[in-house]
Amino acid sequence: MQTEHPGRIALQSDIAEELHMEGDAARIHQLVSLLVDNAVKYTPEGGKIHIFWRKNGKKAEFSVQNTCDTLPEGDLNRLFDRFYRADVSRARESGGYGIGLSVAAAIVKAHKGKITAEWTRDGIYFKAVFPVKG
C-alpha cells in the first residue's frame, strides 16, 4: 500500500500475511510507534517512508526505511544509546530527549531479537529481527 500527497511524506507498507510471533503485543506496538515516529521526524517534506513486516526463514523482520536530509556520521549503533542525539540542533526542532531508539532496542532485546541501523542509497534503514516458532 502506498499513500502520497504533493509536499508531504509518502508512506509505503509491505506487511506479510500470516506472520505470527510470540511477544508482548503492547511492547511490539510501542516499538512500531517509536520507529515510525522517528522516521516521520527525520523525513523531509516530499520524502518517503517504507515499512516492512515479513518472515525470513525462522525470523520475523520489522523494518522502517526513510529518506533523510542529513545522515549522522560515525557508528550507527550509537543511535541506540540512551540520550544520544546525532544532531543536537534537531533536538530543539523535533523535541524529545534521545531515548526513543534506546527504548526500541530494549524492546527488541527483551524479545530475544536484534536491531540494526544502516545506510542505504535512499536514506536510513532500521531493522528489528525476531525469532519465530514454526
Give the model confidence (pLDDT) of 41-59 as tens digits: 889 999 999 999 999 889 9
Contact 65, 122 (CB under 8 A): yes
Return the CATH class of domain 10-131: alpha beta
Q: Look at the block and give the residue holding cell 544532531.
A: 87
Q: Please indicate, yes or no, whether the overall pTM of this predicted structure exceeds 0.85.
A: no
Element at 129 (helix H, strand E): strand 123-131
Q: What is the DSSP letter of 73?
A: P
- Of 80, 14, 5, whose CA–CA distance to 46 is shortest? 5
What pLDDT does 55 receive? Answer: 92
Contact 49, 64 (CB under 8 A): yes
- Quickly state the pLDDT bin for 111 (edges 50, 70, 90): very high
- Of 13, 41, 39, whose CA–CA distance to 122 is shortest? 39
What pLDDT does 15 receive? Answer: 92
* Average pLDDT estimate for 51-75: 86
* Average pLDDT estimate for 83-111: 68
